[in-house]
Structure 1
Amino acid sequence: MPAFQTTFGKLTQSWQLRLQDAEARESDLPARVEKCISICEEGLQQLRQWVMEHPFPGRDCEIYFFKQVKPVIMARYIYYQKIYRLHIGYFNGSGLLAKERLEQELKDITRYFSDNADFYTYYRMGYTHHDEMYFVRGAYDWKICPGVNNFDAVFSTSCDGKLAELMAYELLLKYIDERLNPAVKLTEPAPLCGTTASRPAVSSTLTCTASITDIVELGYALYATGFFNNGKASIKDIMHLLSATLNVNLGKYYDTSIQLRERKNPTQFLDGLKASLIRYFNQF
């Protein structure tokens, strides 16, 4: 399995770098989104070609592919398509229409999560007991997977597409929320005119000795739980705060998050924190 994971890790990383380059180079939003959609299409085509030419080494590899690899790229493909459709109405000069589109999309997403609550819980809680039914080809059961299967026997399972949709809608929720509720800076506001009070500088001899990966894992956990600003803080603001506070350069933290997702245990650091705290409390 490790060698199998490495194969798709390299492919996913290359695909992600191409997306980042397109995001950075193209200033025109419609053109940028179209380019990203094209990159995602090429990525999916590469995956399908691989599946057609290579048998999976084992069932665990097939599950990994349809649960951890294909849905990631397909989710971005769906996400960028949604972004494109949302922004078509932005260029008619009606800000109200734009706001209405976003709010309606939020309602549609909320309904989709509600309609697929059981499977969403399965995905978010990291369950595996139905993996062979959800993510192995030819194992479709309409009683457990009532959604429509596209019957692509080579490149689809019962639920890899549904998983991709859920992941895409998670991305879209963050995108819409950031536009309806611009992130508030996590730093202290400037003093009001006429005041001279300010926070005293804090010096410390403490040095962070955790790894970059551990800090990024912590940052995404804080973001996912809405730890700052009632959940309105962006991941960029949170990583900036951790970087500045801990005096650590987190670099391309999004790339690190991809590595975390691909690990056998994505919450290794957080699990260790919990275990250490329990051991500490048990001493008393």
Structure 2
Amino acid sequence: MVQRIYRDALLSISQHEQRVSLESSHIIDESYRMTIFLRELLSQMKDYVLAHGFLSKHEEIEFFRKIKPQILGKLIFYNKLYRIESSCPFSGGKMYQKYYSAELQSLKQEYTEQICNSDFFRYYRSGRTDLDHEYFELGKINFNGGLNSYVFEVDPHFSTYYDYKVSRIIANELLYSYLLSKISTDGSEAQVSDKDFYWTDSKNALIELIYALCASECISGGKIGIRKMSIVFQVLFRIQLGDIHHAFHRMKDRAGSRTSYLDHLKTSLEEYMDKDL
């Protein structure tokens, strides 16, 4: 049940992102519409959880570790993106660059002070699951850890506190990639404004391709790291990939072929070659 909800939610978000991207003429409108959509989707999820609950503790943990953070993380990202873009002075010039550089610096400071030095961040990034029953089950908030004050305002029936932590990690990854792309393109969106040029396969497929290119060291002699390479592809195809490291670790545990997209590329190319025979 949880896996189906997870797939449906991700598919719904991806389809809506693509449709809004094609219909919107400006990132401000795009981020606003995505914020409205994600807020409604999160509300629907909450209604479902409150009405049906969970069949097991495993389902509960899966929901608060994976499903809710994917929705809330993107909601935080698009809301922040709307605020950043609607406050941007103008496009181009030194002021433009300074504006996005300042936003990037602020994000890095928040990341350093509130996320990367925490025990939970190290736990989550390492892919551990042994403490999931403490972090992602309802009613198990440990107040001895000196939690942020907003924990007292969350709905205890729809939050474990740490699902919000995961959401912030996801949102910050997305925002980091976006701000870096704005700075690296020198204020010009001309390179990525073509509405006809976008990625139409799954995000996991693109992540698999990026890791393959990185592992083969076929770009810049292998001197470009996976993070920088992923940013290039995200800008090129106008797509947000989220936590690519977590997605890659899930690929390593796939049943059957672990390189399903690369296998598909090989088959497609061979079939295309055969057409000329």
Structure 2 CA distance for aligned equivalents of residues 55 and 229 of structure 1: 46
Give the alignment of 1:151-162 within 5 angstroms. 151-162=154-165
Once the two structures are superposed, residues 192-213 of structure 1 have per-residue CA deviations (whole angstroms, 9 ceiling, x without a partner) of xxxxxxxxxxxxxxxxxxxx99
Residue 177 (1) aligns with residue 180 (2): yes
Q: What residue number does 1:80 align with?
A: 78
Q: 1:113 to 1:182 in 2, by over 3 A?
A: same
In 1: Cα distance, 2:167 partner to 2:203 partner: 25
Residue number in structure 1 paired with 2:272: none
Aligned length: 229
Over 3 Å counting, the alpha-carbon distance change for 1:17 and 1:228 in structure 2 is farther
Q: Kindly indicate whether the alpha-carbon contact (under 8 Å) linking 1:59 and 1:136 is maintained by their aligned counterparts in 2.
A: yes
Contact 2:174 2:240 in 1 (8 A): no
Which of 1 and 2 has greater Rg? 1
Residues 135, 162 of structure 2: 8 Å contact kept = yes
TM-score by length of 1: 0.67
User: Which runs of 5 or more structure 1 residues have no equivalent in the other structure?
Assistant: 184-211, 241-250, 274-284
Match of 2:250 in 1: 265
Aligned to 2:130: 129
Call closer, same or farther: CA 1:218–1:233 in 2, change over 3 Å: same
Whole-angstrom CA distance in 2 between matches of 1:81 and 1:232:
24
| Aligned-pair CA distance for 1:237 | 4.0
Q: Distance in 2 between matches of 1:100 and 1:86?
A: 13
Equivalent residues of 2:24, 2:30 under 8 A apart: yes
Partner of 1:96: 94
Residue 186 of structure 1 is matched in structure 2 by none
Q: Corresponding residue for 2:32?
A: 34
SS in 1 for 2:55: coil
Q: Which residue of 1 aligns with 2:228?
A: 232
The structure with the greater share of residues assigned to helix is 2
Q: Distance in 1 between matches of 2:172 and 2:180?
A: 12
**Which of 171, 176, 181 is the equivalent residue of 1:168?**
171
| Cα distance in 2 for residues equivalent to 1:61 and 1:236 | 36
Give the partner amino acid of 1:63.
Answer: I
Alpha-carbon distance between aligned partners in 2 of 1:81 and 1:213, rounded to the nearest angstrom: 22
8 Å contact kept, 2:34–2:78: yes
The residue number in structure 2 matching 1:8 is 6
Out of 221-230 and 74-83, give the one that drifted further: 221-230
AA matched with 1:24: L
Distance 2:230 2:105 in 1: 21
Superposition CA RMSD, Å: 3.8
Q: TM-score, normalised by structure 2?
A: 0.69
1:149-182 deviation per Cα after TM superposition (whole angstroms, max 9, x unaligned): 1331121112111110111000111111111113
Look up the match of 2:191.
none
Q: What 5-or-longer segments of structure 2 have no aligned partner?
A: 187-201, 260-277
Query: Relative to structure 1, is the Cα distance of residues 220 and 102 closer, same or farther in structure 2, using a 3 angstrom cutoff?
Result: same
The aligned counterpart of 1:218 is 208
Higher RCO (CA-CA < 8 Å; seq separation 6+): 2
User: In 1, Cα distance between the equivalents of 2:101 and 2:214?
Assistant: 21
Give the Cα separation in 2 of the matches to 1:25 and 1:105: 27
Corresponding residue number in structure 1 for 2:198: none
